[in-house]
Structure 1
Amino acid sequence: MGWMIDSVGRLIARLQKQANRGEPLPPNDSTALRDTLRPGDVLLVEGKGRISSGIKYLTQSAWSHSALYVGPIAGSATDGEPHVLIEANIDEGVVSAPLSKYLHCQTRICRPVGLSGADCEKVCRYASERIGLGYDFKNVIDLMRHLFPWPMAQRCRRRTIALGSGDASRIIYSSLIAQAFEAVRYPILPTITHIDSQTARREIAEPRHSSLYAPRDFDISPYFMVVKPTLARGFKYKDMHWTARGRTPQRTLAPEMERRDRASGMRPHFPLDL
C-alpha cells in the first residue's frame, strides 16, 4: 500500500508548477532581506503553484511554504552562493537551499522572540541533521482531496492537514520546523489550559502534533515577531519621493521610485488622489 501512496503522491506532485518568477526584486530589496535574516528565523513564502494554492485554501492564508534560515551551510552551495535555508519540498524531501531561490517571491520573516543562542543552535542543528529525509506523499493526497471549491469547515481543513503516514522518516512541509522548535520546547501555537488552585492560577501549555502546523501558524503565533526588512533598516518616510497629484511620473524617475515603492510595500507610480 505504501508504494501505491508514493506513486500517486509523486504523480500529483507533478502538477505543482514553478512559481511565476515575474520581475526580480531590485538589488536593494534582496540586500535588505539578506541583512535582516538571522539563524532561527522562519521565512514564509507565497507560492503560485497548484499545490501552493491548495495549501493557501486549506489554511485560509497567503503563505504556502516555510523554510528555516540557519546561515551558511558548509559544503552546500549553488553557483557559488551558499545554502542558508532548510526546507521540506514535495519533489525533493528535506533539502538546503540558497536565499536567491525565493527572492522573486513575496516573503515574510517570523522571528522567535527570546530564543537563546544555545537553543537557536539546537534548532538549526535539528533541521540540518534531517536533510535527506523524504516527503510524506500521503499528505499530498489528503491535500488534493480538498482542492475542489466547495465550502469546508475550518476544523475539517485542520484535520486534513493533520493526516499523513506517520512515518518518522518522512516530513510534511511545516512539520520539520515545528519539530525543530519543539526539540527545545519553544512554543508556536500550543494548547493552553488554565488551572485554578487556592493559591494561584496557572497556565499549562500542551504542544500540538507537528503535523498540525501550517506556514500561517508562525505568522499568527504570539511568540514569533514579524520582521520587515524595510523597517529594520531604518525607514524614514520623509525620504520618500511622491508624484504630484494628477500627474504621471516621468519615466526618468521610474526606476528610483519603483525601488522605493517596492521597499515600502506600496503600489508604484499612482497619483495620491486615486
Structure 2
Amino acid sequence: MTTRQDTALDRSLDRLGHWMSKRLRRKSSGYNPYTPSDFDTLCRVLKPGDVLLVEGNERIANAIKYLTQSTWSHAAVFVGNALPEPADGGERPRLVEVNLGEGCVAVPLSKYRCYNTRICRAAGLNDDERAQIVRFMVDRMGLRYDMRHIFDLLRYFFPTPPVPVRWRRRMLAFGSGDPTRAICSSLIAQAFQSIRYPILPKIFEVGREGEYSRREIFLIRHHSLFAPRDFDISPFFEVVKPTLALGFDFREIEWGSPPEHSGDGPQSVERPTASH
C-alpha cells in the first residue's frame, strides 16, 4: 500500500528530475556547424526509415559525445508523411525522436536545419520493412522517461568522468532505472531489432577452424548499449551524403578568387557550399 511519505518522496524526486533535465538540456554557447548544411537537398534525399544523426549542442549532448568518443550525440528516425499535418497549418512532423524530459515525440525536420547531420540508411530494406520501422517509432510516441530515475540523469552532469575509454559506453547504461528512454538511439535500435536487422551484432563462428564453410551466428546486443555513433560505424548501414546522392560534378563548382591581403596573414578562399 502506498503511504503518504512514499507519495511525497515520489513528488520530490519528480520535481528534482525535471530540474535536472532542464539543466542538462541547456544550450552550449558558441556552437557553429563545421560544414554549411544544405537543408533542401537533405529533405530530398531522406527516405522513410532512415536514421538521422545530429551533432547536438546541449549539455547532455556534450556528455554523450565524450562518453561515445563521437561527434554524434543524437539520433532520430525519418518517417516521411506517416504523421498528419498540424491543424494550425504548421510544418508536418517528419522525425520521431526521444528527448530527455519529453520522451518519444515527433518534430519537423527543420529543427535540425542549422546542425551538422548525417544520414544512415539500412541496406537492403524493402518498402514493407521500412514501413515497419516507421510504424514501430510512431506507435511509441508518448512514451515518457521517468524523471525519478535520478541516477540515470546524474551521470550526464559529469561529461569527463575519470574512467578508462573502454568503460565509458557502459556509463550510458548505468543507473537505477530504465536508461533506454533517456537515450534516443536505444529506441531506434529496438525498432531495427523488431525486424531482426543487424546494427553491431556480436558474431560467433560455428564450425571447426580451417573448415572451408563456416556459419556465422549473429547475436543481438541489448538495446541499452547502443549509441548514435553505432549507426555511423555499422557495416550494415550506408552513409548517404545528400550532395553526392543527387549527382555531383566538381567541374561545375565556381571557385571564388582569393581576397587581396597585405601579406601579414594567411590567404583564405571561398569554399563551395556542401551538405554534411
- Partner amino acid, structure 2, of 1:172: I
Q: 1:39 to 1:264 in 2, by over 3 A?
A: closer
- What is the distance in 2 between the residues matched to 1:19 and 1:73? 33
Moved more, 78-87 or 63-72: 78-87
- Tell me if 1:184 matches 2:184: no
In structure 2, C-alpha distance between the alignment counterparts of 1:161 and 1:203, rounded to whole Å: 29
2:166 to 155, 161, 164: 155
CA deviations over 1:43-71 (Å, ceiling 9, x no partner): 00001111110010110100110000011
Change (3 A) 1:63 1:170: closer
Q: Which amino acid counterpart does residue 121 of structure 1 have in structure 2? A: A
Give 1:10's aligned residue. Answer: 18
Per the alignment, residue 141 of structure 1 pairs with 153
Task: Pick one of 224, 227, 234 that aligns with 1:211.
Answer: 224
If asked which structure has higher relative contact order (CA below 8 Å, sep 6+), I would say 2
CA distance, structure 1, for counterparts of residue 275 and residue 172 of structure 2: 34
Supply the AA of the counterpart residue of 2:90: G
- Residues 152 and 179 of structure 2 are in contact (CA less than 8 Å); yes or no, is this contact kept in structure 1? no
TM norm structure 1: 0.81
**Partner residue in 2 for 1:172:** 183
Letter in 2 for 1:52: A
The corresponding residue for 1:201 is: 214
Percent identity of the aligned residues? 45
> What amino acid is the match of 1:216?
R
Q: 1:175 to 1:4 in 2, by over 3 A?
A: farther
Instruction: Check 1:104–1:156 CA distance in 2 against 1; reply closer, same or farther (3 A cut).
Output: same
1:65-104 alignment to 2 at 5 Å? 65-77=74-86, 79-104=89-114
Question: Which consecutive residues of structure 2, in runs of 5 or more, have no partner in the other structure?
Answer: 1-8, 262-268
Q: Residue 39 of structure 1 aligns with which residue?
A: 48
Distance (Å, rounded) in 2 between the aligned partners of 1:86 and 1:264: 22
Specify the SS of the correspondent of 1:83.
coil
Q: Is the 8 A contact 2:179 2:224 kept in 1?
A: no
Aligned partner of 1:123 in structure 2 is 133
Instruction: State the distance in 2 between where 1:127 and 1:163 align.
Output: 24
- Name structure 1 gaps, 5 residues minimum: 249-256, 266-274
Alignment TM-score, normalising by the size of structure 2: 0.81
Structure 1 residue 210, shift from structure 2 partner: 0.6
The whole-number CA distance in structure 2 between the counterparts of 1:168 and 1:244 is: 52
Q: 1:110 Cα shift?
A: 0.3
Cα distance, 1:246 vs structure 2: 6.2
